[in-house]
Amino acid sequence: MSIMRRRQFLSQVAATGALVAASSKDSGAQVKTGASNRARVIADPARTVASLDRRLFGSFVEHIGRCIYGGIYEPGSKLAGPEGFRKDVLEEVRRLGVPIIRYPGGNFVSGYNWVDGVGPQRDRPRVLNRASNSLESNQFGTNEFITWCRAVGAEPLLAVNLGTGTPEKAADLVEYCNVESGTRWSDLRRQHGVEKPYNVKYWCLGNEMDGPWQLGHIPAKEYGLKAREAALQMRTVDPSIRLVVCGSSEVGMPTYLEWDRQTLEECYDDVDAISLHHYFGNGPETGGDSSKFLAANLMMDRQIDEIIAVCDMVRGRKRRKKQLWLSFDEWNVWYRRNTEADMNGQGKEAPHLVEEVYNLEDALVVGGLIISLLRHCDRVRLACLAQLVNDIAPLVTNPDGLLRQTIYYPYAWVLKYGRGNVLNLAVESESYEVPEIGRVPYIDVAGIFEPESGSTTLLILNRDIVNARELEIVWRESAPARAGECQVMTGPDLKAFNGFDTPNRVIPQTVEAPKAGARMTFQLPAHSYTMAYLQGK
């Protein structure tokens, strides 16, 4: 079963009533039931969740649609540089400072023979990309990807094929990438013109192996054993690598959590992390109700907590000291362009697939999801906004240029300001009821404190669709000396989006920050996402 049947599979599951209901989660916020449009946060730079690993703000590029071909690589284009990389995309990603990028899939990896994508380009086979029924020219492969990563300043996160592929082939790729010389695969890399090893550190052991749509899908126990074998062989080649095993691909899967438990029972000792995926939507899941949709990140909170619970349960049963971390290596909003037809390339090369157009409310949700990742940064150390260009992406290309979709902005803010320690904030907010979730605080906040400069960045979501709200920040110990940049995303129309003809319809507006001091009050417009950079000195 291919990716084209993913949605179909999940809607069948939902129809049989097995879909896990959306959830309540401890967002860290204390909910107030009284009528007050003023929320309060107590911030203490000494109370932190953890110090941030920037890999939390990673992204993902897959051989799907126009993500690679026509997105990051387009040799015939007037915008391409000598290596065939689109200069506009390369520059934008470099400026953004994306720390780590996952490749080559996604579903694609489960049918990928990495050997097809290396060596002289003229000799590479044209094959059928069976994950999205498209034509794959193999003109872009591992070496092109790592060259591009270096040009944009990102670290590669490589996935190996544990669908149709074998542990042996996975270890061969580690040898090709990370061994200096003197072995079959490292010498092949040198023959291909790359003398020095890449030393790729982070590796995914397949993709969404719990999904019946995945090429080579097998039951959890078998996958756990296959992942273990792959881990052993890959680590024999390079003991320093870090390995992410596939966890559940959806909270709606009938095997949700059980898949994770059974897999980990087999390979806990051999991996470092487990993956989570989640795409959020304002379709059938919310009945199109935007106030429910804006609570999406509370479902992410709950998913993270549940996967942590499974990891720690297996750890307890095995009496192990080692604690796994989580890799949320696919997350985004995605619900419009995800029908069978949207994922079927009809045998074409670089077809238009899953090109979701993002609006203002999607950007607010993405902002909320970033808040959730931040408040779990003690256990979620790596995450990837899926994807980066053209397919469910913040950036979109056409033959003449590049467009920033609405979701680009919250992502760009955290990339720019996300350094230091995430604060463990005490938030008090009035709340509203979402039946599948429970009480949802109107205000959600994350804070990042940079010890060296003493500066703090606040990211604030106002979920109230109708009313502006106030947020008072009470600083314990040290308060900011000066308010720096303060920007907000909001607007009269939650459904407004950017297009090549109207690229600036939904963009951040600079607003006046409140006067710095031990107590600061922010005015938050209705349905808004605010970024405030407060200087310490």
Pattern 196-225, ligand AHR, x by CB under 6 A: -----------xx-----------------
Rounded Cα distance between 42 and 74, Å, is 50
Task: Give min distance, CB of 387 to ligand AHR, in A.
Answer: 6
CA separation for the pair 279, 331 (Å, rounded): 5
- Whole-angstrom distance, CA of residue 279 vs CA of residue 294: 14
Instruction: Name residue 100's beta-bridge partners.
Output: 155
Phi, psi of 225, deg, nearest 5 = -70, -40
Length of the chain: 537
Q: Residue 348 has what DSSP assignment?
A: -
Q: How far is the CB of 501 from ligand AHR (least distance, A)?
A: 27
Task: Report the residue number, 105 or 508, with the smaller CB distance to ligand AHR.
Answer: 105
Euclidean distance between CA atoms 435 and 132, whole angstroms: 36
8 A C-beta contact, residue 60 and residue 384: yes
Residues 316-345 as x/- pattern, contact with ligand AHR by CB under 6 A: --------------x---------------
Which residues have CB under 8 Å from 510's CB, separation 6+?
485, 486, 487
- 450 in contact with ligand AHR (CB under 6 A): no
CA distance linking residue 189 with residue 193, whole number of Å: 7
Shortest distance, position 223 Cβ to ligand AHR, whole Å: 15
**Max CA pair span of the chain:** 72
Q: Three-state SS for 334?
A: coil
Site string for ligand AHR, 382-421 (x = CB under 6 A): ----xx----x-----------------------------
Q: Say which DSSP state 24 is in.
A: -
Q: Of 386 and 534, which CB lies nearer to ligand AHR in the complex structure? A: 386
Least separation, in Å, of the C-beta of 231 and ligand AHR?
20
- Residue in the structure block whose two tokens are 């110090």: 51
Q: Is 78 exposed, middle or buried (0-12, 13-18, 19+ CB in 10 A)?
A: exposed
CB closer to ligand AHR out of 159 and 440: 159
Query: Nearest to ligand AHR by Cβ — which residue?
Result: 106
Task: Please report where in the chains the tokens 């920007």 appear, as a residue.
Answer: 487
Asked if 41 and 375 count as a contact pair (C-beta separation under 8 A), the reply is: no
Region of 100-108, 119-127, 361-369, 483-491 interacting with ligand AHR (CB under 6 A): 100-108
- Of 109 and 374, which has the nearer Cβ to ligand AHR? 109
Least separation, in Å, of the C-beta of 342 and ligand AHR? 11
Site string for ligand AHR, 48-77 (x = CB under 6 A): --------------x-x-------------
The smaller minimum CB distance to ligand AHR, of residues 354 and 445, is found at 354
Q: Which of 65, 106, 167, 224 binds ligand AHR (CB under 6 A)?
A: 106
Closer by beta carbon to ligand AHR, 105 or else 156? 105
- Please state the closest distance from residue 6 (CB atom) to ligand AHR, in A: 6
SS3 503: coil
Among 2, 4, 6, 494, binds ligand AHR (CB under 6 A): 6
Selected from 28, 70, 105, 367, the binder of ligand AHR by CB under 6 A is 105
110 vs 359, beta carbon nearer ligand AHR: 110
Helix or strand holding residue 533 (H, E) = strand 528-535
The set of catalytic residues is 208, 330
Q: Which range of residues in 12-20, 49-57, 103-111, 422-430 is near ligand AHR by CB under 6 A?
A: 103-111
Choose which of 2, 23, 59, 107 interacts with ligand AHR (CB under 6 A). Answer: 107
**DSSP class per residue in 96-119:** HT--EEEES-SGGGGG--GGGGSS
Question: What count of Cα atoms within 13 Å lies in the side-chain half-sphere of residue 400?
Answer: 2
Least distance to ligand AHR, CB of residue 300, Å: 16
> At how many degrees (to 10) do helices 296-318 and 258-267 cross?
40
Question: CB of 186 within 8 A of CB of 229?
Answer: no
Residue 332 CB, shortest distance to ligand AHR, in Å, is 8
Q: What are phi and psi of 152, to 5 degrees?
A: -95, -5
Q: What is d(CA 369, CA 443) in angstroms, rounded to the nearest whole number?
A: 13
**Single-letter amino acid code for the residue at 419:** R
Which has the closest alpha carbon to 241: 317, 358, 156?
156
Report residue 282 as tokens. Answer: 């304002």
The CA angle 428-433-437, to the nearest 5 degrees, is 95
Which residues, in sequence order, are CB contacts of 425 under 8 Å at separation 6+? 28, 41, 42, 43, 445, 446, 447
Site string for ligand AHR, 31-50 (x = CB under 6 A): --------------------
Number of chain positions touching ligand AHR (CB under 6 A): 13
Identify which of residues 372 and 387 has a Cβ nearer to ligand AHR in the complex: 387
Residue number with CB closer to ligand AHR (67 or 513): 67
**Least distance to ligand AHR, CB of residue 70, Å:** 16
Q: How far is the CB of 64 from ligand AHR (least distance, A)?
A: 6
Could you list the residues that contact ligand AHR (CB under 6 A)? 3, 6, 62, 64, 105-107, 207-208, 330, 386-387, 392
